[in-house]
Amino acid sequence: MDVQVRRHRTVQNHDQENFYATKKVNLLIPSKRQGLSVRGALGEINTNVEIHREVNVGKGTNASAELEKKLMVKRGVRNYNHVQSKVDTGLNGKPIIQPSSRPPLRREESTAYAARAVIQTRAALKESQNDFAESANVFQQAKKIQETKKATKLPAKVSTKETRSLLKPILKDPSESLGKLKLVEEPTIQKEKIVEREVRPVPELPHDIEDIDANDKNSPLLMSIYIKDIYKYLTELEKKYPIETDHLKNQTEITGKMRATLIDWLVEVQRQFSLVLETFHLTVGIIDRYLQAVPNVQRNQLQLVGVTAMFIASKYEEIYAPDVGDFVYVTDNAYTKSDVFQCERDIMSKLGFCLARPIPLSFLRRFVKAAHGTSKNHHLAKYFVDLSLIEYSMAHYRPSELAAAALCLSLYLLSTKKLTDVWTATLSYYSGYKLEHIEPIMQKIAKIVINVENSKYQAIYNKYLDVTLAKVSSLPQLKGEVIHELINSF
């Protein structure tokens, strides 16, 4: 209803405008206020005079209009009917101007603008002259000030004899050095006692040990200066965060087979997301440390722990970590994002927010460099390490122990040397393990390799059938007599 009323009012207003525009109405313009003026086409119009004008163009109004003109002429009032469209506010949007009815201009009216222009130009010339005079005065005053400053700065003329007499006491001897002259007295500074720090000398290598970092001095990325200290620190960390021999003894529902099933499935997740091997190794370490610290983990929460551990490891190792929604998706939406976040907080708090425990891959690279191994040796050793991570009976070994045993087995199977010749003094020095220490670990790894085809955990075996990994899981040496002899020798 409100809209209709507003439309009706607008139509009425429109009709009123048409009414005033079309009908002939005698319109009397009220007198203007005194002191006001309206600018028209020929100049300012005095509005103190009351002007009555008719818009009606009928025949009956011609006589009255002529009488009005005569009266205005007698009074000395000029006629401005030809500019009525400019003065009139107008009821029509477009005022009607009749150029034919425009009377001829008088001389006074035609020259009004010219006279005013002349007056304005004369005033402008006077102002410019005044400004120029003022600027000239300012310039002269500034010049005088500069001259007085120069006069005060310049010293009085001194004769050459006086200058020589002034210079003589300063430079008595020509051989005197200017460095001995003290222009300002030096303040007395108390010398601080310099505390000498003990710098530990770098231990020299034995004569039969090769320096594997000698050729890396020109490469800052290899950190040859303190790489030995780094690996010494990593060995201290793996001792600080150990995995016990039977770390699932406090679990009532979780068993070693359930752990192996979880890790085997995480290998598939790693391949699906194209994650690096460091992420997988760190994931297994987080799972074992959490299961060791938290007793009585429920069976239906084990997969959530595994997914969350890989989510944490990917954020630690990957450049572009997968989204949490991706990990929820691979669990077939068995858990929600909030479940993963809550489990993440729980894991990190139980681990003391420390993920510094080293992984086997870090040690393996160092040992391969010390052995001058090939890429095939490296891939085969990684295959042995990954197989060991699934087995619950191998979880308590240190990462450096697994890396040393896996590399020694790889070098032994891919060469014709004896086992004592494969594990050289250099490898023993950089790994910190003798052959007698790693031989039992090698035997366990060999048993896992032989039985891998009969195992239900085939994810790692299928992973290392890839060409990029040299298909090391299908090598004939893994089924030969050498590996069987190694198993039976113990």
The CATH number given to whatever domain includes residue 277 is 1.10.472.10
Show which of 331, 351, 371 is a domain's final residue.
Answer: 351
**Same domain, residue pair 346 and 397:** no
Range 387-401 average pLDDT:
97
Given a cut of 90, whether residue 465 has pLDDT beyond it is yes
Same-domain check for residues 367 and 445 = yes
455 and 370 inside one domain: yes
pLDDT for the residue numbered 131: 66
Phi, psi of 223 (to 5 degrees): 50, 55
| pLDDT, greater one: 38 or 303 | 303
Same domain? 265 vs 370: no
- Domain extent, residue 476, equals 360-488
Identify whether residues 458 and 407 lie together within a single domain.
Answer: yes
More confident position, 45 or 403: 403
Which positions ≥6 away from 219 have C-beta within 8 Å?
none
How far is it, in rounded angstroms, from Cα 54 to Cα 6?
A: 34
Confidence at residue 27, expressed as pLDDT on a 0 to 100 scale: 43
Output the six-digit token pair for 51. 């002007």
- Does the residue 436 lie in any domain? yes
Q: 481 and 384: one domain?
A: yes
The fraction of the chain above a pLDDT of 70, given in percent, is 60
Concatenated DSSP letters of 154-185: SPPP--HHHHHHHHTTT-S-TT--GGG--SSP
Single-letter amino acid code for the residue at 84: Q
Residue 296 domain flag: yes
The overall pTM is greater than 0.75: no
Say if 221 falls within a structural domain.
no
Mean pLDDT for 408-418 is 95
Length of the chain equals: 490
What's the pLDDT score for residue 220? 86
Integer Cα distance of 471 and 282 in angstroms: 24
Query: At 303, is the pLDDT very low, low, confident or very high (cuts 50, 70, 90)?
Result: very high
Q: Is the pLDDT of residue 348 over 70?
A: yes
Percent over 90 (pLDDT), the chain: 54
* Residue 305 shares a structural domain with residue 364: no
Q: Which of 126-140, 356-370, 411-425 is least confident?
A: 126-140
> Nearest Cα to 427, choosing from 363, 474, 489, 488?
363
Closest listed residue to residue 80, CA positions, set 49, 59, 56, 57: 49
Asked which of 41-55, 150-164, 203-217, 397-411 is least confident by mean pLDDT, the reply is 41-55
Cα–Cα separations (whole angstroms), residue 470 to 43, 125, 389: 101, 98, 21
Instruction: Give pLDDT tens digits for 162-196.
Output: 545 544 444 444 545 545 545 445 555 454 555 45
* Residue 271 lies inside a defined structural domain of this protein: yes
**Are residues 324 and 280 part of one domain?**
yes
CA–CA distance, 222 with 250 (Å, rounded to integer): 43
- How many domains in the chain? 2
User: What is the per-residue pLDDT for 10?
Assistant: 44
Q: Is residue 305 part of a domain?
A: yes
Helix (H) / strand (E) element for 46: namely strand 44-46
Residues 418 and 396 in one domain: yes
Domain boundary residue, one of 326, 351, 376: 351
DSSP string, 305-330: HHHHHHHHHHHHH-SSPPPHHHHHHH
Longest dimension (CA), the chain: 146
Whether residues 332 and 385 fall in one domain: no
Computed over every residue of the chain, the mean pLDDT equals 77
For the stretch 364-371, contacts whose Cβ atoms lie closer than 8 Å and that sit 24 or more positions apart, written own/partner, are 364/403, 364/406, 364/407, 366/231, 366/430, 367/403, 367/404, 367/407, 367/427, 367/430, 367/431, 368/407, 369/212, 370/210, 370/212, 370/426, 370/427, 370/430, 370/431, 371/407, 371/411, 371/424, 371/426, 371/427
Binned at pLDDT 50, 70 and 90, residue 204 comes out as confident
**What is residue 44's three-state secondary structure?**
strand
Q: Which H or E element spans position 13?
A: helix 2-22
| Res. 266: pLDDT tops 60 | yes
In a domain, 134, yes or no: no
Residue 302's φ and ψ, nearest 5 degrees, are: -70, -40
First to last CA, the chain: 103
Tabulate helix, strand, coil % of the chain (nearest 5).
60, 0, 40
Confidence of residue 247 (pLDDT cuts 50, 70, 90): very high
Predicted confidence at residue 317, as pLDDT, reads 96
> What pLDDT is recorded for position 217?
86
Tell me how far apart the alpha carbons of residues 450 and 479 are, in angstroms, rounded to a whole number. Answer: 7
Identify whether residues 478 and 389 lie together within a single domain: yes
pLDDT at 12 over 50: no
Task: State residue 151's pLDDT score.
Answer: 55
* Continuous H helices in 76-111: 84-87, 107-110
Of 332, 436, 443, 466, whose CA–CA distance to 388 is shortest? 443
**The pLDDT of residue 177:** 53
Lowest mean pLDDT among 164-168, 327-331, 365-369: 164-168
On whether both 344 and 281 belong to a single domain, the answer is yes
Averaged pLDDT for residues 23-39: 44
- Does residue 233 belong to any structural domain of this protein? no
C-beta atoms surrounding 21 within 10 Å: 13
Domain end position, chosen among 284, 319, 351: 351
Q: What integer pLDDT is reported at residue 100 of this predicted model?
A: 47
Cα–Cα nearest to 410, from 475, 339, 354, 359: 475
The rounded distance, in Å, linking the Cα atoms of 311 and 261 is 18
**Contact by Cβ (8 Å): 457, 448:** no
Residue 135 scores a pLDDT above 80: no
**Both structure tokens of 401:** 């122990």
Instruction: List, as one string, the DSSP characters of 186-251.
Output: PPP-PPPPPPPPPPPPPPPPPTTS--TTGGGTT-GGGTTTTHHHHHHHHHHHHHHS---TTTTTT-
pLDDT at 104 exceeding the cut of 80:
no
> How many Cα neighbours within 13 Å face the side chain of 472?
24
- For residue 309, being part of any structural domain is answered with yes
